[in-house]
Structure 1
Amino acid sequence: MVRRRSHAAVVAVAAMALVLPSATPAAAATASAPIVDGLAGPLQLAVGSDGTVYVSQSFAGKLTAVGKKGTTDLVSTPGAEIAGVAADGPGTVTFTTSGESEDGFFAEVRRVLASGKVRALGDVGEYEATVNPDQVNSYGFQGLAPGCAEQVPVEIGGDPYPGIVESHPYSVAILPDGSRIVGDAAGNDIVRVAPNGRISTVAVLPPQPFVVTAEVAAGIGLPECTVGKTYNFEPVPTDVELGPDGLLYVSSLPGGPEDPSLGARGSVYSVNLATGHVAEVAGGFLTATNLAVAPDGTIYVAEMFGNRISTVSAGGAEPFAEVPTPAALEWANGRLYATVDAFGNGSVVTFTP
């Protein structure tokens, strides 16, 4: 994921994670045998109408298709990241990519055609540099006295700051009108790329507040004067999916302690595409890296460092399956597809609820 000023605190505070209570209900679903394995950082996936599975091998800079005829790398860009992926019709797929080129940093939405040619659809990085939608948010410590702010370690920072200019298009979904919806993990916003390439802001996710406890302060070297004060983490959207109700659903992976008892954790939000209204659907997730939405409205959430997939429905959130470091989810063909063991022998498995 992106590393920004707020993420210096992420690394330090995550070290304070505690073991989850053993009373957590056991997950019952069992994964299938792998459809494919040996993947390098399968952080996103999509499933085409013909059953082809598209996986972004983010650590290798590859977009890979897994179909009846075997496994094929559709795009290979060593040194650049391929992240978000969405099936886009017979033999075509949309993906997001970012990295360094001869012309500097780039962050774009592209499409692979059935012919194998790659087309640019929108320059998300340029839009972020021009508009910077999350500049309306205030991150970092809120309201520390100057003397207290000076005592906070430099890598964390004691002063509040607005959203900075930085882009990391990490997820993508396709609307019926052909627009692409992109979750920008560094921009902390959701943007729309119209079929003509025009980009607009759909919504800015809210800051994620965390009240510093004495335990956390002592553990990461914060001065005592920060206890009881609020630190606003950046929300960091990790996936976007269109639900059967017409709302957009977004998973969020902010910084902070990994144990829910220590503060607010990853969340799932709904976004009204017409108004931009953002509402929290559920929270308290351990590293919510991805989600999928079934036709009945059930939301599945990948909790990477919780080593599980959970469900969100009218009855609340509960464990669905225990799997090693799940990264990406997709609902298709009556099954839940998931990438697991994201930092090892990455593979794609399925579940039939």
Structure 2
Amino acid sequence: MATGLDGPRGVSTYRGYVIYSVTDGSVYATNGKKTRKLGQVPGGFAPAIDTSARGVTYALTGGGGPEGDTPPGGATLYRLRPGKSPVVVADIAKYQAHDPDPYNQADSPTESNPFGVAALRDGTVLVSDAANNDLLRVWPNGHIKTVARLKPRTVKVPAGLGSSAPPAGTPFVAEAVATSVTVGSDGYWYVGELRGFPATPGTSEIWRIRPGSVGAVCDPTKPNKGNCKRYADGYTSIVDLAGGPHGTIAVVELAKASWLQFELSGKPQVGALILQFQGRHHKAGYRKELVRNKLILPGGAAFNRWGQLFVSAPVFGPGAVYRVKF
């Protein structure tokens, strides 16, 4: 759909257009023949994006400055206006400064790195925060409520992390790192995890949250209790989710070996695009990997209203947005 892109990441759709973001914060819309710029937000890493049913595109910048501080224009939700400056909808970092993560394991409990975004039909927007480990709901006037908090999970340290890490097999409490959010065809809200250090493969979960929830808790020790229930398990380093037709969810894994192995090696890693099908009684069913072993560090995915699927890769360096046949 689009080639020669610098670090493409966010992907959304509206009618016959595919919308995507790149490293400098620019957001474009293309139908494969014509491309136009929708706006630009502070860059350095491509923003997460989503487009509402009314055609309004939102861009979400991350936090995570070099010293843990929020860079100028970071951790902010914007509404884009073609030909005009973007409008600030909400300062996510400002809200999180007074909404500490009660289950925090590393760094500041008020740290914010919003990473996933989903526009709802009523005009509100969902934001998943990868540092505060929660899901927020943002109103058009900037009002914010905490929908759910994701508790950490005890995992086993994998092999190959070097002498500075605990020995392989050591139990370790790892944060959820809520990177992604989407709305399923059933109307429920789904959140995906990256999994914090030691980034043990196969320990990233997908949570199913009742719409309209406030203050829900996603607890891996009690995964079937309350308004947030575990939907799927066994994934690795999830960075995006996309709700599709008939209960399907596209799951984007940054690196099959885990994000930490990518950081340690410094080399491009093979990621994955997986279709998660819904089984009986709103449980996850079987899954199918698409374009197996052909995606390097994929960043985002989206379905259009005809059920076509699009994916961006890689999130660092020259990349493209593709339509995936399945």
**TM, length-normalised to structure 2:** 0.78
Alignment partner of 1:202: what SS?
Answer: strand
| Counterparts of 1:137 and 1:266, CA distance in 2 | 17
1: CA distance between counterparts of 2:107 and 2:8? 32
Higher helix content, 1 or 2: 1
Asked if residue 169 in structure 1 is aligned to residue 111 in structure 2, the reply is: no
How far residue 81 of structure 1 moved from its aligned partner, in angstroms, is 4.2
Quick one: percent identity of the two aligned structures?
29
Q: Residue type matched to 1:324 in 2?
A: L
Q: Are positions 1:310 and 2:270 aligned together?
A: no
Indicate the residue corresponding to 1:254 in structure 2. Answer: 195
Q: Distance in 1 between matches of 2:229 and 2:89?
A: 29
Question: Which structure would you say has the larger Rg?
Answer: 1
State the partner residue of 1:21. none
With over 3 angstroms needed to count, the CA separation of the structure-2 counterparts of 1:89 and 1:310, relative to structure 1, is closer
2:204 is aligned with 1:204: no
Extract unaligned runs of 5+ from structure 1: 1-34, 140-160
Which has the bigger relative contact order, CA under 8 A and spacing at least 6? 1
| C-alpha contact (below 8 Å) 1:334/1:352 kept by paired residues | no
Name the CA distance, whole Å, in 1 between partners of 2:166 and 2:199: 21
- Give the drift of 1:295: 1.7
The residue number in structure 2 matching 1:118 is 86
Equivalent in 239, 248, 266 of residue 289 of structure 1: 239
- Is the alpha carbon distance of 1:223 and 1:68 closer, same or farther for their aligned partners in structure 2, counting shifts above 3 Å? closer
> Out of 115, 122, 131, which is 2:99 matched to?
131
In the aligned structure 2, how far is the partner of 1:178 from the partner of 1:114?
A: 19
Letter of the 2:295 counterpart: P
Q: Provide the rounded CA distance (Å) in 1 between the counterparts of 2:157 and 2:276.
A: 28
**Any unmatched runs of 5+ in structure 2?**
217-226, 257-270, 280-284
Structure 1 residue 343 corresponds to structure 2 residue 308: no
Matches within 5 A, 1:155-194: 164-194=109-139
Secondary structure of the corresponding residue to residue 247 of structure 2: coil
Distance in 2 (CA, whole Å) between partners of 1:271 and 1:98 is 23
Contact conserved, 1:137 with 1:162, CA < 8 A, in 2? Answer: no
Helix, strand or coil: the match of 1:343? coil
Change (3 A) 1:162 1:346: closer
Indicate which of 174, 192, 200 corresponds to 1:233: 174
Q: So what's the TM-score if we normalise by structure 1? A: 0.72
Q: What CA RMSD, in Å, does the superposition of the two structures yield over aligned residues?
A: 2.9
2:184 to 231, 243, 250: 243
| 1:270 partner letter | R
Tell me the equivalent position of 2:291. 321
Q: How much does 1:234 deviate?
A: 1.6
| Alpha-carbon distance in structure 1 between the residues aligned to 2:40 and 2:120 | 26
In the alignment, the residues of structure 1 paired with residue 160 and residue 303 of structure 2 have an alpha-carbon distance, to the nearest angstrom, of 38
Deviation at residue 348 of structure 1 after TM alignment:
0.9
Q: SS in structure 2 opposite 1:126? A: helix
1:331 paired residue number? 303
Distance in 1, Cα, partners of 2:77 & 2:155: 33
Q: CA deviation at 1:237?
A: 1.6
Are residues 165 and 266 of structure 1, via their aligned partners in 2, closer, same or farther at CA, if it must alter by over 3 Å?
Answer: same
Q: What is the alpha-carbon distance in structure 2 between the residues aligned to residue 200 and residue 258 of structure 1?
A: 29
